[in-house]
Amino acid sequence: MLQATTTFLCGLGALLLLKATPVLAQVDSVRASTLPGRQVAEKAYNAGLASFNSRNYSAALTSFDQALAAKPDFAAAYANRAATRLAMKEYPAAVTDYDQALKLEPSAYAAYFGRGQAREATGQTAEAEADYGEALKVNSTYAPAWYNRGVLRFEHGDYQAAHDDFSGAVKADSTYAYAYHDRASANLRLGNFAAAVPDYSRALTLQPTLLPALLNRAAAERRAGQLPAALRDYDAYLTQKTDNALAYSNRGNA
């Protein structure tokens, strides 16, 4: 009897990797000519971006504070102070700043996405899903919002909706290996075993070291009756990871 693979949805790992990478500043440097008479705010804002990009988050926070003290309606400074607080795992404060940024600039899709990340980190998954949806209303080509919403929907057991979101992610970014992987995993949960195989293959083409895709492709091939291919994938997986007892068991049953 085939058991569920140990990494059935790579989205959990992928999402953690996404969180672990530095949050990107959401707005480019402001030129002095664009805000006449607000040189103090501009200088502090640009210093904040430089510190943020150097991962010196405490210095970035101080600079964005200074920018907002000089210019209280500076939407970009709120958004990037929020991104800084998100990177520092100060999630409630990040949400507050994203709220203010969106009041000043309601079409800022990156602020919706960032607020969704902060809410997701505090367990507010329904609110996070709504924010990812708002980001997509503004920019339907923003692949991370499709992907993150898909992961939430997968975790809630809404596999068809998750599948559709992962499809949106790969349409927006055809190099999104995790989205291909997780669309395949959604297909597995939906019983579409043969359809899962090419998506796992695409994920492996894009990221050959993504071992869960190799193991899960073997499971999909086995369920689809493609036993020789399944055996090859189990063999390839076990040459690289020899401590997975479940993989040995499933290979023996193939």
State what percent of residues in the chain have pLDDT above 70: 80
Mean pLDDT confidence for 116-142: 98
63 pLDDT higher than 60: yes
- The first and second tokens of residue 3, run together, are 């058991």
Task: Quickly count: other Cβ atoms within 10 Å of residue 248's Cβ.
Answer: 13
137 in Cβ contact with 108 (< 8 Å): no
Please report, for the chain, the start and end positions of each structural domain, with discontinuous segments joined by +.
37-139
pLDDT confidence of residue 153:
98
Residues 6+ apart with CB under 8 A from 106: none
| Six token digits for residue 219 | 């499971």
Q: What is the rounded distance in angstroms from the CA atom of residue 127 to the CA atom of residue 133?
A: 10
% of the chain residues with pLDDT over 90: 75
Confidence of residue 238 (pLDDT cuts 50, 70, 90): confident
Mean pLDDT of 219-233: 92
* The pLDDT value given to residue 27: 52
Mean pLDDT of 57-79: 96
Q: What is the mean pLDDT of the chain?
A: 85
Question: For 82-122, how does the pLDDT look when each residue is reduced to its tens digit (9 = 90+)?
Answer: 999 999 999 999 999 999 999 999 999 999 999 999 999 99
Is the Cβ–Cβ distance between 124 and 155 less than 8 Å? Answer: no
pLDDT higher than threshold 80 for residue 41:
yes
CB 138 within 8 A of CB 145: no
pLDDT, residue 20, reads: 32
Residue with the bigger pLDDT between 85 and 34: it is 85
Angle made by CA atoms 88, 91, 76, in degrees to the nearest 5: 75
Q: What's the CATH class of domain 37-139?
A: mainly alpha
Q: Phi-psi region for residue 166, left (φ > 0), alpha (ψ -120 to 50) or beta?
A: alpha
So what's the pLDDT on residue 23? 54
Looking at per-residue confidence, does 238 or 254 come out higher? 238
pLDDT of residue 129: 98
